[in-house]
Chain A
Amino acid sequence: MSFLEYAPAPESTAILNLRETYGLFIDGEFVDGRGEPFATISPATEKRIAEVATANAADVDRAVAAARRAYDRTWSTMSGADRGKYLFRIARLIQERSRELAVAESLDNGKPIKETRDVDIPLVAAWFFYYAGWADKLEYAGLGANPRALGVAAQVIPWNFPLLMLAWKIAPALAAGNTVVLKPAETTPLTALLFAEICQQADLPAGVVNIITGAGETGRALVSHDDVDKVAFTGSTPVGREIARAAAGTGKKLTLELGGKGANIVFEDAAMDQAVEGIVSGIFFNQGHVCCAGSRLLVQENVHDEVVDRLKTRLSTLRLGDPLDKNTDIGAINSREQLDRIRALSDIGEQEGGDRWTAACEIPSSGYWFAPTIFTNVSTSHRIARDEIFGPVLSVLTFRTPEEAVAKANNTPYGLSAGIWTEKASRMLALADRLRVGVVWANTFNKFDPASPFGGYKESGYGREGGRHGLAAYLEASGWQPPAASAGASTRSVRGRSAQKTRKAVSK
């Protein structure tokens, strides 16, 4: 027998206690949706997991109204310290239920359990812990004293990191004093619904978090709702454009985190084995369903053959299969629709003259799968070098000088992420300054931290999530000045109360 055919090591699903059907989570409880319910399936097996409600326009109305009530009556009048307590409680509950959440996420999304267990869920908890700490320190958010919450936030998130994107949206919004209505993607609603249970478990006041499920129509109704003060969206650039148009002229604040075509730049002097690892985690992490993926490998021409050769050897050790097996590196593609798109773009890559190489691996008979694929001989004019594929497909391009590396890296309508691999720190820093992207990783890739702002240039969107900037996106300056004469310990409580009054006066 071959040792490398590791015996199956499946994570048990016994820990999950799922319901047959899930309603909408509005005003602290699950209620029926008035739209046509839909099934959420496991992309690895195409088996149904649960039935989920669809929110129609009336349901959206109801959810926004609940959020407004909770904002006016509870959340906006509560002290920051108390809001923080709820967020800390949620963070701890996420840690306590981390295994359950990891299994649910792998089941619903198709990503490997080792990623949900070691990356997604720990980051989710970290995000809530981080923003819990901010809740009573808003005056340091960079907007002057006593910044105000915006009100009701409408949040629409994608399917690639379902619970993590929820945390990126909900944690800062709540810390800043907003209430939210969130819509998870229609292919991955499961962990958001488990999160609703966690809100109940944490005794979060009713209506502070509302979770409504459904497809594009539901999302459209939510972001264009009149009583929404803030819209936050992560997803594709076309949908982002549509949302920007709908929000134009309404006074709604908007943050968009959209597509990307990240360049991973490898210089001849890079630590080669680690660079190869970085290329792998840059594009094959989460099946390449990562907006900041390093989907364009820019490699210095004189080491191109060596890098590609080593990369192929390494990719041959990746294990594709059951997402719940602890040894799986590459899970399932999230949906039939996405698989079709990856296949179509890969075929175009071949037609345009790219050399396609695919790791030899057995593809399971049911479910949606795409083996890790590299295109060499790709030039900047090819569609696979320009369009976001959002799958495990890497396009390899070459450059000759640092100057050319910068020019090629920036030559894209997107501007979300880039990676630099060199042992020469001066070159690394000089290059980072000139890349028109929101995140530059140096000698690493796809590393996330709640304290670090994340966001894009150009068609990758605007606004930042994470860190102080991510908090500020849910606040506005109050223009309030501290009384010149006041001093001493009593000032603090007076200031707190007057801030609450100001907030109330402004809210609708």
Chain B
Amino acid sequence: MTIDHPVALAPADRAVRLLGGDLTEKALRLHLDGLAGVDAVGLEARAADLATRSIKTSSKAWALDTIIRTCDLTTLEGADTPGKVRSLVAKAVMPDPSDPSCPRVAAVCVYGDMVPYAVEALGAHHGDPEKGLVSVAAVATAFPSGRASLAIKLADTREAVAAGADEIDMVIDRGAFLSGRYGLVFDQIVAVKEACRRADGSYAHLKVILETGELQTYDNVRRASWLAILAGADFIKTSTGKVSPAATLPVTLLMLEVIRDWHRLTGETIGMKPAGGIRASKDAVRYLVTVAETVGEQWLTPHLWRFGASSLVNDVLLQRQKMTTGHYSGPDYVTVD
């Protein structure tokens, strides 16, 4: 691949620290291309091995609560309405009306134009999930395809932040990534991060969606993870949920390995969010095991770990009820949202 004249990239603290002050696309490319490869067979074997952990009794109870506490309850439909969002928020605040001890979810995740309704519906419950409150996450940057001009992506982001979104779930430009324009992808993430800045100087949390189903190879996923972290991502996220395959255990394991390596290198903690396709408690527990055994169980907190899911919570509630009552109920004993 030919390299154009060195193009200076937008300043990003992490990248400058790692790659040097005169941050160029060439330096970025050399770094990403120099990463160790991923052996697909070995990665999948390790994920399969982690999936054999048997989580029972007290460990299972803790795991089920943790899944709820770290869930981004999501609705991302063309048919979303204020009513639908209010219903989702009610569920987020009280997932199981039959059991007040059930924890709240971490956040509701909606399209940008639905943020005002979510904020309004949450009212006093709106806030930091580490304090038992519920955040509002908005997808932005021409989600899910990301095929729009940068100006539109930034406007999309600013509007959601201004409306009260605590977290922005952006998509990377996969087309640019796959055609080798790493600098473009990088610059856009840096710009979106800047658009997350609020009037008071604080930032909405930025989750960067790689859409791993479109990147296809594990080597690409590893490069894109590094790229997103270097550009300033607070979280890296697997998928939009609109492309199949969405989150898989091997892809999540691989991204967690990058997060672990970044932590080893810099001491900084980056969050991880698998999204899409995780519907059963049993699968979700496997993700928790993978987190705990890869980056450590201190990651299993809403500031560093999220599930992006719409139907997962109800399955977890059924399992949770089973653990308390000793028998399985049915879908009519959990609420539709």
Residues of A in contact with B (beta carbons under 8 Å apart)? 1-9, 114, 118, 269-275, 277-278, 317, 326-327, 423, 443-444
Select B36's contact among A6, A8, A271, A327, beta carbons within 8 Å: A271
B41 on the A face (CB < 8 A):
yes
Select A444's contact among B36, B41, B62, beta carbons within 8 Å: B41
B288–A277 contact, CB under 8 A? no
Report the nearest A residue to B297, measured CB to CB. A3
Which residues of A are found within 8 Å of B292, using beta-carbon distances?
3-4
A118–B52 contact, CB under 8 A? yes
B325 on the A face (CB < 8 A):
no
Which residues of A are found within 8 Å of B37, using beta-carbon distances?
269, 271, 423
Select A7's contact among B41, B43, B56, beta carbons within 8 Å: B56
**Closest A-B pairs by Cβ, 7 of them:** A274-B42, A9-B54, A271-B39, A326-B54, A274-B39, A7-B59, A423-B37
Q: List 25 A-B contacts (CB under 8 A).
A: A3-B59, A3-B62, A3-B66, A3-B292, A3-B297, A4-B292, A4-B293, A5-B59, A7-B59, A7-B60, A8-B56, A9-B55, A118-B52, A271-B36, A271-B37, A271-B39, A272-B36, A273-B43, A273-B257, A274-B42, A275-B39, A277-B42, A278-B42, A444-B41, A444-B42
Interface centre among A8, A270, A271, A326 (most CB of B within 10 A): A271
Question: Contacts A270-B36, A271-B39: A6 and B53 contacting too (C-beta < 8 A)?
Answer: yes
Question: Contacts A3-B300, A444-B41: A274 and B46 contacting too (C-beta < 8 A)?
Answer: yes
Residues of B32-75 at the interface with A, using a CB-CB cut-off of 8 Å, are 36-39, 41-43, 45-46, 52-60, 62-63, 66
Question: Contacts A277-B46, A423-B37: A7 and B58 contacting too (C-beta < 8 A)?
Answer: yes
Complex interface bits, B256-296 against A, C-beta within 8 A gives 1, otherwise 0: 01000000000000000000000000000000100011000
Residues of B in contact with A (beta carbons under 8 Å apart)? 36-39, 41-43, 45-46, 52-60, 62-63, 66, 257, 288, 292-293, 297, 300
Complex: A469 Cα to B58 Cα, angstroms: 51
B57–A7 contact, CB under 8 A? yes
Complex: A465 Cα to B275 Cα, angstroms: 47
Complex: A271 Cα to B293 Cα, angstroms: 19
A271–B54 contact, CB under 8 A? no
Which residues of B are found within 8 Å of A272, using beta-carbon distances?
36
B38–A327 contact, CB under 8 A? no
B297–A4 contact, CB under 8 A? yes
Q: From residue A443, how far is it (CB to closest CB) to chain B in Å?
A: 5
Q: From residue B291, how far is it (CB to closest CB) to chain A in Å?
A: 9
A274–B38 contact, CB under 8 A? yes
B59–A6 contact, CB under 8 A? yes
Which residues of A are found within 8 Å of B54, using beta-carbon distances?
6, 9, 326-327
Which residues of B are found within 8 Å of A7, using beta-carbon distances?
55-60
Which residues of A are found within 8 Å of B63, using beta-carbon distances?
3
Q: From residue A335, how far is it (CB to closest CB) to chain B in Å?
A: 27
Report the nearest A residue to B254, measured CB to CB. A273
Which residues of B are found within 8 Å of A8, using beta-carbon distances?
56-57
Which residues of B are found within 8 Å of A423, using beta-carbon distances?
36-37, 39
Q: From residue B302, how far is it (CB to closest CB) to chain A in Å?
A: 15
Q: From residue A322, how far is it (CB to closest CB) to chain B in Å?
A: 12
Which residues of A are found within 8 Å of B39, using beta-carbon distances?
271, 274-275, 423, 443
Which residues of A are found within 8 Å of B36, using beta-carbon distances?
269-273, 423
Q: From residue B136, how far is it (CB to closest CB) to chain A in Å?
A: 28
Which residues of B are found within 8 Å of A269, using beta-carbon distances?
36-37
Q: From residue A248, how far is it (CB to closest CB) to chain B in Å?
A: 44
A443–B41 contact, CB under 8 A? yes
Question: Contacts A3-B63, A3-B288, A423-B37: A443 and B42 contacting too (C-beta < 8 A)?
Answer: yes
A326–B52 contact, CB under 8 A? yes
